[in-house]
Structures are given as structure tokens and as C-alpha cells.
Amino acid sequence: MGPIEELGSAIGAVAAKAGPSTVGVGNRWRGGSGIVLDSGKVLTNAHNLHGDEIHVYFSDGREAEGKVLGADGDGDLAVIGVDTKDAPTLGWGDGSALSIGSPVIALGNPSGGGLRVTAGFVSGVGRAFRGPRGRRVAGAVEHTAPLLPGSSGGPIVDADGQLLGINTNRLGSGFYLAIAADGALRARVDALSRGEAPARRRLGVGLAPSEVARHLRRAVGLDERDGLLVRDVEEGSPAAAAGIVEGDLIIEAAGKSITSIDDLFEALAAAPADKPLAVKLIRGTEERSVSVA
């Protein structure tokens, strides 16, 4: 048997072992993939959810309705409670041991459209991406195993079919990102399985970056300032209660100058949870300070 045949045989063996643990989630037109990690529980990306109930497609052709047990929109993870019946669970490998050149096999069941299995190599570690709400998620693995749209939420595994990461983003040009399956991820998944969503401070605003804010202020004859432009305010949000309105320019939070979305997330994370967050903003030409509960 030559090397190509050996590779094909290895991929086929992994498909037979890990394929039954790879499911489709959502519906035939909108959704992604998921992983059976425990009896009655499926792990997927939070961006694959569209409501509290979600359809799950198993490799044996069975379909079932599931319910979200816990979701972390910022970290792009969710655990679905569903009757997994005889679907095998996928064992945990050591995603923290991955390095450039490590071989990986990617699996997906795009929106229940059938199992796909490909192979590639780790092309980068310690990467970051933006979660569905814009928060920076660090510690991702970049790899080259090709994936169809709808494969996010599916696994990358090693030659033994053990979980190394959860696919989440297609970067284009043949590169993909996966959240590494390490101890920290396992703890997060366990908490979501118990319905314990992480508590993170949030303002409840839609924002435009500093360069857009400078351009828009210049266009209406206002002085250019670095900051984040408030494009919309969620009704009933902490920002709305504090009096922040569309068009405000956030320039400081918790005493820290704000010039990027990461600056704001860092200020929110560092601020004491039991105290209001001091926010400084500019409304037109007037500088104001507000306190966000």
C-alpha cells in the first residue's frame, strides 16, 4: 500500500469512528454542525442557534428536536440537550498540544446534509477571531482541512478520532479556525451543560470603529476625535438606562481611553462587577460622563 492509499485508509477509519458523533444542527437551509460529547448533549457554535429550540440531524438519518441548555454568544459556544439515543460520544484529545505542522482531520455535517471528512495540517496557533457579538476570542487553531459552509461546530480530530478542536470560522484562501479543545474549553462546556452561561458585563450598543467615527464627525463639521460611535442602543439595555443615545462617541470607560472595540471589552472585563461603570462620551461638541449600572 502506497502513502496515498495509507492516508485514505486512515481518513476512512477516522470517518467510521468519529462520523457517527458528528451531527447537523439547524435546518436544511440554515445552521451548521455539532458534536455529541455526552449522552443527551451536543456541542456546537452559538452562531448556529436561531432560537431556543434547534433541529439535530444524526448520521443514521434520525432527526430530533433539541433545546439549548446553555449558550455563550461571546465565546461562540452552545450546548444542546437532545435525545442522542445510540449516537457515540466523541472522546477528548489534547488540543493544547497542537503545533504548526500537526495533522488534523475535519468533520462536518452541514445543516444535516451528510457527513464530510477532509484532512489538513495546523498552519498557525494562538490565533483570534471575533465572536458573534464582536468580542475577541483568543487561542484558536488555524488549519488547512477544507470545509463546506455549514461545517462550523463540527470537530477537528487526531488519527485516533479524538477531539482536538471545534471548527468555527472559514478564513478564505483555504484556511480555517477551530477553538482548541483544551482544559479551559472543557470547563466552559461543562458549565454550559449545567445551564451556567458566563456572566460578562455588556452595554447593549452597536458601535462603529474609530476611523468611521472620525469620518462621520468630519462630514458634519465636528472636530475629529478617537472613540467608538454608537450606531444603535438596545431597548432596555444598561446603556439605554444610563442615557446613552445613538450618535454618542464613547471616548473613555473605567478611566481607560477607548480607541478600539478591544479597549472597551477590556475595560468592561476589568471593571468591578458590583460597581457602576464610568463612561465618558461626546455628544455633538459637549463632553459628558454617565454611570452604567
Digit-coded pLDDT (tens) for 55-69: 999 999 999 999 999
208 forms bridges with which residues in the sheet?
A: 229
pLDDT at 153: 96
Query: Are 124 and 102 spatial neighbours (Cβ–Cβ below 8 Å)?
Result: no
Q: Of residues 152, 158, 182, 263, which has the active-site annotation?
A: 152
Whole-number Å distance between alpha carbons of 83 and 229? 45
Mean pLDDT of the chain: 90
47 flagged as catalytic? yes
Query: Are 122 and 145 spatial neighbours (Cβ–Cβ below 8 Å)?
Result: no
Report pLDDT digits (tens) over 177-229: 999 999 999 999 999 999 987 777 888 898 888 888 788 788 877 788 888 98
Topology (CATH) of 205-292:
Pdz3 Domain (2.30.42)
76 flagged as catalytic? yes
Position 155 confidence tier, pLDDT thresholds 50, 70, 90: very high
pLDDT at 212: 84
Indicate whether 117 pLDDT > 90: yes
Long-range contacts of 50-56 (CB under 8 A, 24+ apart): 50/26, 54/25, 54/26, 54/80, 55/25, 55/26, 55/27, 55/31, 55/112, 56/23, 56/24, 56/25, 56/80, 56/82
157 forms bridges with which residues in the sheet?
A: 105, 163
Query: Are 165 and 178 spatial neighbours (Cβ–Cβ below 8 Å)?
Result: yes
Closest CA to 154 of 88, 211, 108, 120: 108
Closest CA to 110 of 20, 31, 11, 37: 31
Q: Of residues 21, 47, 158, 263, which has the active-site annotation?
A: 47
Query: Are 41 and 50 spatial neighbours (Cβ–Cβ below 8 Å)?
Result: no
Placement of cell 462587577 in the chain = 273
Placement of cell 461546530 in the chain = 153
Strands of 98-238, DSSP E: 103-108, 116-130, 136-143, 155-157, 163-172, 175-180, 205-208, 228-233
Position 285 confidence tier, pLDDT thresholds 50, 70, 90: confident
257 flagged as catalytic? no
Dihedral, CA of residue 185, residue 153, residue 84 and residue 91, to nearest 10: -50
Segment (H or E) for 277: strand 277-283
Indicate whether 80 pLDDT > 90: yes
State pTM to two decimals.
Answer: 0.79
pLDDT at 123: 96
| Amino acid type, 201 | R
Indicate whether 33 pLDDT > 90: yes
96 alpha carbon, distance to own chain's centre: 18
Indicate whether 258 pLDDT > 80: yes
Q: List, by residue range, all CATH 2.30.42.10 domains of the chain.
A: 205-292
Over residues 20-33, the mean pLDDT reads 88
Q: DSSP letter for 187, please.
A: H
Share above pLDDT 70 across residues of the chain, in percent, rounded to a whole number? 99
Position 271 confidence tier, pLDDT thresholds 50, 70, 90: confident
pLDDT at 28: 64
Indicate whether 41 pLDDT > 80: yes
Q: List, by residue range, all CATH 2.40.10.120 domains of the chain.
A: 3-193
CATH architecture of 3-193: Beta Barrel (2.40)
Q: Of residues 72, 76, 182, 248, which has the active-site annotation?
A: 76
